[in-house]
Every structure is written in C-alpha cells, then in structure tokens.
Structure 1
Amino acid sequence: MKATLKNPSTDIVLGFHALSDPIRFQVLELLRSQELCVCELCEHLGIPQSKISFHLKTLKEAGLVRSRQEGRWIYYSLNLAQFIALEEYLASYRRFSTILPARNCSEPT
C-alpha cells in the first residue's frame, strides 16, 4: 500500500521556516510574556534594530506575530492562532500515523 503525502500549506511551511532561526526563536520567547516594541527587543537581545526588524518581518509573514501601532511605536505580540495551527499539523503525525520500528540501514529490505 502506497502512502499518500500531504502537502502542508504555505502558512505551515513559513511557520516552521520562521522557527528555524535562533534569533527569531529568542524574539518569540520574549514575546511570550508581553508585547514589546522593536527598541525593547533590541535592548533585551543586544541586536541592532535593522536586524530585529528583518526577523520580525519574517515572523509576521509566517503569521507567528502580529503588530499594532500606538503613536509612532509598533508593538509586537504572539499570534497564538498560528501556533495552534502548527501544533495541530504536528499532532496529525502523532494521531494518524502508524509508528514504525526503526530500520537498520545496513540490513537488506
């Protein structure tokens, strides 16, 4: 029986790509407890604003963070709905896939 491959949506792919960078991961960790502006993220991480802005753009495009403007400042916070979508995608492997024993690559198949 041939297994069918499910193509993840663009949002899922972008989400996992965004999670693959250590700086973006640190930004998300900081946003867990409160919304922050770019200058606060720079201060916490010791990274220039241009670099933080680049990573925030990637996180926004992946739907992992959202922004709101207050005066001249833009505040960033987590978009929990996208984290739930990523979690549900991963859970589908746990719920619907048969767990197969590990194969020894040196053994003939």
Structure 2
Amino acid sequence: MPVPHPTPEPPHASNPPQDAVTDVVRWAAFSCVLVPVVLLWYGTSLAGAAGTALGLAAVTAVCRLLLRQSERGAAGRAPEEAAAGGGRRHRSGTGAHRGGRRTGGNTPVG
C-alpha cells in the first residue's frame, strides 16, 4: 500500500502578515548598503556615498516607525469597531461631490 506524502506548504505560509513590516525593513536596510556600494563603484566620492547611506538609513528608520505605529493603531481599532456594532458607516449620496455650489463646469471665473 503506498504511503501518502504530506503536501508541502506554500513558500510564504510560515510568514504571518505582521512580518510584512520586517520584510520591508530588511529590504530597505539592504538598499542602504547596496546603493552606496554602487555609487562608489561608479566613481562617486566616499563622502557622497556616506551621505547617501546616512540619508537612506534615516528614511528607513522613519518609515519603520510609521509602519509600526500604523500596525498598532490598526490592531487597537479592530476591537473598538467590533464593540461599537462593527462595520463601516456609509454616507448617503454618490461620489465625492455631494451638495454645495457648482459652477458651470471648467470655465474660468471672470
């Protein structure tokens, strides 16, 4: 009797969604190293490459903080929405232009 083989997991099944920020930060850190190396390879000064590396590192750090803060906000907001009756609140009307004055199209005011 043949023995059934277990089905292999998809490649990203072991990574939970919360690790998406970690993946982004890893790629950003990789670029913080790679970009200055490429700049040096193409003849940029050491000071220019170092300045670029520091700038990329600063942008990466700020983006990481904002992503983490956004994650915390989204995690804290989910239980509150469930307790308040859940779901989105829909507004009446259609589109972004509800009510208010309308001019005669795209004609200049004169």
Rg comparison, structure with higher value: 2
Q: Give the structure-2-normalised TM-score.
A: 0.31
Q: Give the structure-1-normalised TM-score.
A: 0.31
Determine which structure has the larger strand proportion and give its number.
Answer: 1
